[in-house]
A and B are shown apart, each in its own frame.
Chain A
């Protein structure tokens, strides 16, 4: 005997609602904790299609709408954390400590961690490299991209493996190209008649 698919999804959502406090973010998206990052995006789209309150609530009693909303808020929350690899790493640590949800404090800690990692001012690891690095950042801020590129090259000669330096070199070169193009087209999106 088969069940009406709409009733089945309602039943599933009600069950998820009852167990909500015990489900971790991976379980909410129905993926394995060790899954590749791309699976997270795909899973969200699958679960979003299945569980979105707009899709399951038409004709259902209003109490069910509240239940479906509560479940979907948790799914949204799970995706918001797991879609970002840094956020996911932080959550994995939380999960090992037995915390199933990222609360406001944990989220802030994760953000601060990511910000520190991405803070270019703290990227240099040697004194001499740091000197040139500082000049490079200053050059970038002043839009002197040629100078910035030169100083990053110098900094790299002291720290050839520094990934942040390498990333910034690409960034500076892109900025250089854009300036060139802009000069050629006279700022393309300004109005010309």
Chain B
């Protein structure tokens, strides 16, 4: 039997850990690095590379190097987030045969789940190399605000990677588990999780070994990437001004400026100002070379990214309101995610919660550690004294009703697992089918929420209008994944229905995707 690990599958970086002799251990690669870039590069030396080697390819072949696939996983083509990603990415984003989202690299199409699977295999192999044992099971973390489509697609990624997914665990919850592990205290904590691509805030009550999420809120398209794109846009504006050119659509220039923005962000975390310089940023068709140079100070940078920081606090207020609490009632604030290393974020969080954030956890590793603890809890048959995690569903689940409204079936922040039953009536005589559209989101209008799927109950008996009653039970399991089953009152038959159209991968495809060509 193989080892069960915890994997933090991040937008920018990933981390893997497992419990060894009662203590969590983070696995480093052969060079001793404890996190790996979530980057997959194709065609480098004829094979596919992942992690640090893939990151090196990013600079000279961005069009065949896939970054931040997590921002695309479980999303539909044409959605606002996908369009934004399209305008930022050097690789192709397109629509597949089944109308699902695909990434195009060197003429080949990949689903975002396949890209994530490459990263998972890489993490699995790092753990196996460190352990000298097989790894076949994992708890995989996702942003708390991920919807059903995104969770399901992440599960698919695990299947493709040949891992049994023990649990899809929310990142802030994992962080809280790692923090409260063996502490045995009673306290309220807030987990402020600003990663590479997503933001989550979760409020938990910890009572010794009992971890109860009271409320969670988030934005799955707000993270470190956005800070870099924001600064890169400003650099682009400056460069166009300086050079008199308009190269705002040039992908290589944009990629270089994005790199420069990331370096500037890192430099500003310790220095007051930074000299930004990109030699030969652009070479005109006539062969003239243009450099880019500017000085950036903390104040200017803060002004640029202020709206992004402010957005995280809007989300925090929403979560506190749901929890019926004020910032002062929070005993400890945990900072998670690489972005929270920056003084800009730390100071702002301290201002908002009116207390210094807890500095005892490593923001890059704490999520993987929490996932490892949970993996141990779920596989250990000997001990019974493991902690209990009680999470909530981050978004309301509802169905479309007359007039395009969305009727809530399970409200957000309901503890999971949970289920709720609704009775549907036929609307006209001899109606033989009922079509039900399931959504996730907080808008009153169904259209503005995320469509999870549509299903049809057919073969209903011919009766007068309203006489056929169909009881539909909506269940949200421990992974936060939605299941639907239905019974019609006349026939009394139960049918389990799996909501369709999720990650856009057919089951066969999940089983046949292979990774023989990964160069570890």
Which residues does A use to contact B, with CB under 8 Å? 5-6, 45, 48-49, 52-55, 58-59, 69, 72-73, 76-77, 79-80, 103-104, 188-193
Contacts and interface: CB of A to CB of B under 8 A. Distances in A.
A80 B411 CA distance: 11
B417 A69 contact: yes
Contacts of B421: 103-104
B344 A49 contact: no
What bracket does the count of chain B residues touching chain A fall in?
35 or more
B298 A48 contact: no
A69 B475 CA distance: 11
Contacts of A49: 209-210, 388
Contact of B388 (A52, A69, A77, A190): A52
Interface in B417-466: 417-423
Nearest to B380: A58
A80 B388 contact: no
Q: Sorted from nearest, which 6 A-B pairs have the closest CB atoms?
A: A59-B381, A189-B351, A189-B352, A52-B388, A188-B351, A76-B415
Given A58-B380, A189-B351, A48 B390 contact: yes
Contact of A58 (B210, B306, B381, B423): B381
Interface string B376-398: 01111100101011100000000
A73 B420 CA distance: 10
B348 A191 contact: yes
A53 B210 contact: no
A161 to B, nearest CB: 26
Given A72-B417, A80-B414, A190-B351, A54 B389 contact: yes
B344 A191 contact: yes
B306 A76 contact: no
A52 B409 contact: no
Contacts of A192: 347
Given A79-B415, A190-B348, 8 more contacts: A48-B212, A54-B386, A55-B384, A55-B388, A73-B475, A77-B418, A189-B348, A193-B299
A80 B415 CA distance: 8
7 contacts: A52-B390, A53-B417, A54-B378, A55-B386, A69-B477, A76-B417, A80-B418
Point out which of A49, A72, A193 has the most chain B C-beta atoms below 10 A from its C-beta.
Answer: A193
B477 A104 contact: no
B270 interface: no
